[in-house]
Amino acid sequence: MSKNTEKEPLFSAKNLRLLTDPLNEKNPVTVLVLGICSALAVTVQLKPAVVMALSVIVVTAFANLIVSMMRNGIPGRIRIIVQLVVVAALVILVDEILKAYVYDVSKQLSVFVGLIITNCIIMGRIEAFALGNKPFPSFLDGIGNGLGYGLILVIVAFFRELFGSGTIWGYRVIPESFYMANGGFYENNGLMILPPMALILVGVIIWVQRSRNRNLIESN
């Protein structure tokens, strides 16, 4: 009997919520406000943002999976170090693979791939979820949180690239002839290129999200 209750379908409603919750109500960036540092750094253009998001999804998912599989063996007293080693090893793997296959992007991301190690989302999910749950839900939770992070990154990068450089994914959207330099009336917004604008955009996203979802507003 007890064996039966443990068996639930792979994609039960509960497991699916692990994937979808972080996209909105439990978003790691806008609700938990984790992983902000890298959100500032890699969102000047869309392409590095997408690659960064994919890298974080891979790392959170597999870090959660591996730590969850090891969770009964990890000595409590060195658990943080063990988690860090798992995360660091995964990040180095991602970095090496990027360098080998998408060199241009890896050049742009430069130090930020290494900084995935310190991305608070990953350690946060390992501590909060993977240590106390089975491998498969942990894996889904990792993917979900990576997606939630990536979603915000892509939204921010879209606006920063559009208004900061007049391009999307490197393709010109605002015609050259509009620019002041060519006798037009338009000028790129230089502030969009600089990191503070990412923070302002994240702030705007949080604002929009909270005004649409009243549950997120703290009662005081």
Q: Where do contacts with other proteins occur on this chain (CB under 8 A)?
A: 44, 73-78, 81-82, 85-86, 89, 92-93, 96-97, 99-101, 103, 107, 110-111, 190, 193-194
Distance CA 134, CA 69 (A): 7
The answer to whether 178 and 93 are in contact (CB under 8 A) is: no
DSSP-assigned beta bridge partners for residue 171: 168
DSSP sequence for 157-168: HHHHHHHHHSEE
Distance CA 175, CA 68 (A): 51
What is the smallest separation between the CB atom of 167 and other proteins, expressed in angstroms? 13
What is the smallest separation between the CB atom of 47 and other proteins, expressed in angstroms? 14
Residue 112 or 158 having the CB closest to other proteins: 112
Distance CA 141, CA 136 (A): 9
Residue 12 or 196 having the CB closest to other proteins: 196
What is the smallest separation between the CB atom of 122 and other proteins, expressed in angstroms? 16
Residue 76 or 183 having the CB closest to other proteins: 76
Cα angle at 57 between 121 and 15, to 5 degrees? 85
Distance CA 114, CA 217 (A): 34
What is the smallest separation between the CB atom of 168 and other proteins, expressed in angstroms? 17
What is the smallest separation between the CB atom of 192 and other proteins, expressed in angstroms? 10
Q: What residues have CB less than 8 Å from 11, skipping those under 6 apart?
A: none
Residue 24 or 189 having the CB closest to other proteins: 189
What is the smallest separation between the CB atom of 45 and other proteins, expressed in angstroms? 10
Residue 151 or 161 having the CB closest to other proteins: 161
Residue 31 or 46 having the CB closest to other proteins: 46
Per the structure block, which two tokens stand in for 2?
């007890």
The answer to whether 145 and 153 are in contact (CB under 8 A) is: no
